[in-house]
Amino acid sequence: MIDLKVNIDKLEGFVSKESIYSFEQQLLLHQGSLLNKTGKGNDFLGWITLPDEIDEAMLASLEKDAQDIAAQADIYVVIGIGGSYLGARAVIEALQHNFAGLQGKSGRKAPLVVYAGNNISEDYLADLIDILDERDYALTVISKSGTTTEPAIAFRILRRHLEQKYGLEEARKRIIAITDGSKGALKKLANKEGYKTYIVPDDVGGRYSVLTPVGLLPIAVAGFDIREFVKGALAMKHLVTSARTIDENPAFKYAAARNALYAAGKPIEIMVNYQPSLIYITEWWKQLYGESEGKQNRGIFPAGVSFTTDLHSMGQYVQEGLRVIFETVLSIEKPKRELSVPLEADDADGLNFVSGRRIHEVNRQAELGTLLAHVDGNVPNMVISLPRVDENTLGQLLYFYEFGCALSGYILDVNPFDQPGVEAYKKNMFALLGKPGFEEQTAILRSRI
Ligand code: PA5
């Protein structure tokens, strides 16, 4: 059962229906190229069939590891960057208690997941070590290449910390590595040390890997139902790979609408949420779309806001700034919890007119009011809606975004599965750090600083 819907009614007046539907034939061809593996980047299409391929043995193994980690650890550190951590974090933060970090052991059913290796901040790592000194923990290091600087540095430090804290033998039992099947430094080290490993398939890129152990293991450790998550993704896969029209296929509709807006002079898409727990869904989406489309001097710039919080900051720009943006609202029909506005005898803040009403109703009216205000301010809006946030609907949502991204990248005529641009900073950083082999570049760069 598919719950996700895409509503493009409020694009009227910004782009014509014809311009959106004119993409339909192209989308059919691109859907075919993805399924037949004949388009750009066709050696990285393994993500398409992941929901069909995750078998009982894999799910059982992930669940068993999650149980073992929960028995050993109060804190679970996920080391990874980009596609090697954002998918897991997006799902975990969407599902967990908003204040999971402040809940004690008894309030949480599973270890608290924390993240490392997604920055090079000395303070961040040192502060993390303060916490890990005091608490039982286990870690999973995720790096397909095994050579990415940020997670490699974090793993060097935390592996040593773990070994000093628990001794070599016990430390080995607390480390799981998720990496390439055969090559790479991490694979070599994992083999040498005897760490449990999971494989990232060769034909699945980092930002499309949430349905591999890269996403599934941390989600399971955090105590969530990975079977339902995969089920939701599978249902969405059936729909977006088979439906052949914009009206029937939400990924077609989303890809067509955003490309029609782009062609009409709107190169910036702002993903809007009204729940702080969805901020990392936006972060994951930003990586997926930014890395997939931003190349060859084209691509829609993916930005994000969390309303109503950001209505008190970015809201001004959205309402009256440069008219080059469109918004996509991720709308959730029903919250997980229930809370109403209380009645106050003196009504000092004048809010008694909403007393007794659910907080969500207030949020919902803020959402609808903002949408109309932004449309009136010449910001086209579309809405992706889900009835609720749970494992199943998140599986649907993430697969929908992935397929929509692949289609949209093909419309833009780029390879949505590579990321040649991310090498530039790495080369400069290595040269400035004086890495052997970069001598010539080192001198040139230093002379420019
Ligand atoms: O989407 C991608 O491919 C990237 O974001 C990578 O996931 C990220 O750079 C981390 O790479 P690796 O898993 O090799 O450490």
Distance from the alpha carbon of residue 169 to the mean position of ligand 1, in angstroms: 30
> What pLDDT, on the 0 to 100 scale, is given for residue 107?
79
**Measuring from atom 9 of ligand 1, which residue has the nearest CA?**
82
Is 363 inside a domain boundary? Answer: yes
> What pLDDT, on the 0 to 100 scale, is given for residue 109?
84
Q: Which pLDDT band holds residue 147 (cuts at 50, 70, 90)? A: confident
**Measuring from atom 12 of ligand 1, which residue has the nearest CA?**
143
Co-location of 10 and 127 in the same domain:
no
Distance from the alpha carbon of residue 205 to the mean position of ligand 1, in angstroms: 7
Which ligand 1 atom sits closest to the C-alpha of 208?
A: 1
Distance from the alpha carbon of residue 117 to the mean position of ligand 1, in angstroms: 12
Distance from the alpha carbon of residue 42 to the mean position of ligand 1, in angstroms: 18
Mutate which of 85, 89, 148 for ligand 1? The one with the most ligand atoms within 8 Å of its CB, which is 148
The mean pLDDT of 69-92, rounded to a whole number, is 97
Distance from the alpha carbon of residue 156 to the mean position of ligand 1, in angstroms: 18
Amino acid at 163: E
Co-location of 10 and 152 in the same domain:
no
Is 38 inside a domain boundary? Answer: no
**Measuring from atom 2 of ligand 1, which residue has the nearest CA?**
206
Which pLDDT tens digit goes with each residue over 31-66? 999 999 999 999 999 999 999 999 999 999 999 999
Co-location of 143 and 263 in the same domain:
no
Which ligand 1 atom sits closest to the C-alpha of 150?
A: 15
Which ligand 1 atom sits closest to the C-alpha of 184?
A: 14
Co-location of 104 and 162 in the same domain:
yes
Mutate which of 84, 289, 423 for ligand 1? The one with the most ligand atoms within 8 Å of its CB, which is 84
Q: Which pLDDT band holds residue 175 (cuts at 50, 70, 90)? A: very high
Sign of the Cα torsion 26, 3, 327, 275 reads: negative
Is 448 inside a domain boundary? Answer: no
Which residue range forms the structural domain that includes residue 80?
47-228
> And the tokens for 191?
């083999």
> What pLDDT, on the 0 to 100 scale, is given for residue 84?
96
Q: Of 350, 378, 366, which Cα lies nearest the Cα of 310?
A: 366
Distance from the alpha carbon of residue 103 to the mean position of ligand 1, in angstroms: 31
> What pLDDT, on the 0 to 100 scale, is given for residue 275?
97
Average predicted confidence (pLDDT) for the chain:
96
Distance from the alpha carbon of residue 97 to the mean position of ligand 1, in angstroms: 28
Is 14 inside a domain boundary? Answer: yes
Q: Which pLDDT band holds residue 111 (cuts at 50, 70, 90)? A: very high
Q: Any idea how long the chain is? A: 449
Pinpoint the alpha helices (H) of 96-148: 122-134
Integer-rounded Cα radius of gyration of the chain = 23
The mean pLDDT of 373-399, rounded to a whole number, is 98
Co-location of 114 and 146 in the same domain:
yes
Q: φ, ψ for residue 226 (rounded to 5)?
A: -75, -20
The mean pLDDT of 5-19, rounded to a whole number, is 97
Residues marked active site are found at 291, 312, 426
Which ligand 1 atom sits closest to the C-alpha of 83?
A: 7
Co-location of 305 and 371 in the same domain:
yes
Mutate which of 118, 145, 425 for ligand 1? The one with the most ligand atoms within 8 Å of its CB, which is 145
Is 341 inside a domain boundary? Answer: yes
Co-location of 204 and 321 in the same domain:
no
Taking a C-beta distance cutoff of 8 angstroms, is the pair 205, 417 a contact?
yes
From edge to edge, which strands make up the β-sheet containing 196-200?
Answer: 112-116, 75-79, 137-143, 175-180, 196-200
Co-location of 292 and 401 in the same domain:
yes
pTM to 2 decimals? Answer: 0.97
Alpha carbon distance 336, 426 (integer Å): 42
**Measuring from atom 8 of ligand 1, which residue has the nearest CA?**
82
Is 394 inside a domain boundary? Answer: yes
Which pLDDT tens digit goes with each residue over 411-449? 999 999 999 998 899 999 999 999 999 999 999 999 999
> What pLDDT, on the 0 to 100 scale, is given for residue 404?
98
In CATH, what number is assigned to the domain containing residue 329?
3.40.50.10490
The mean pLDDT of 184-209, rounded to a whole number, is 94
> What pLDDT, on the 0 to 100 scale, is given for residue 1?
87
Alpha carbon distance 338, 406 (integer Å): 38
Alpha carbon distance 383, 378 (integer Å): 16
> What pLDDT, on the 0 to 100 scale, is given for residue 286?
98
The mean pLDDT of 269-281, rounded to a whole number, is 98
Which pLDDT tens digit goes with each residue over 314-366? 999 999 999 999 999 999 999 999 999 999 999 999 999 999 999 999 999 99
Co-location of 211 and 95 in the same domain:
yes
Co-location of 253 and 156 in the same domain:
no
Is 419 inside a domain boundary? Answer: no
Co-location of 286 and 390 in the same domain:
yes
**Confidence check: pLDDT of 106 > 80:** no
Which ligand 1 atom sits closest to the C-alpha of 214?
A: 13
> And the tokens for 143?
């790096």
Q: φ, ψ for residue 117 (rounded to 5)?
A: 80, 10
Strands 112-116 and 75-79: parallel
**Measuring from atom 5 of ligand 1, which residue has the nearest CA?**
82
Q: φ, ψ for residue 251 (rounded to 5)?
A: -70, -35
Number of domains comprising the chain: 2
Across 134-263, where does the E strand assignment appear? 137-143, 175-180, 196-200
Q: Which pLDDT band holds residue 146 (cuts at 50, 70, 90)? A: confident
Which ligand 1 atom sits closest to the C-alpha of 82?
A: 5
> What pLDDT, on the 0 to 100 scale, is given for residue 60?
98
Is 33 inside a domain boundary? Answer: no
Task: Look up tokens 């004690």; give the residue.
Answer: 104
Distance from the alpha carbon of residue 113 to the mean position of ligand 1, in angstroms: 20
Q: Which pLDDT band holds residue 108 (cuts at 50, 70, 90)? A: confident
Instruction: Provide residues with CB under 6 Å of ligand 1.
Output: 81-84, 143-145, 148, 151, 205-207, 291, 419
Kindly report each contact of residues 241-246 with a partner whose C-beta sits within 8 Å and lies 24 or more positions away, as own/partner.
241/31, 241/34, 241/35, 241/48, 241/403, 244/28, 244/31, 245/24, 246/20, 246/21, 246/23, 246/24, 246/27
Sign of the Cα torsion 155, 51, 398, 109 reads: negative
Co-location of 270 and 219 in the same domain:
no
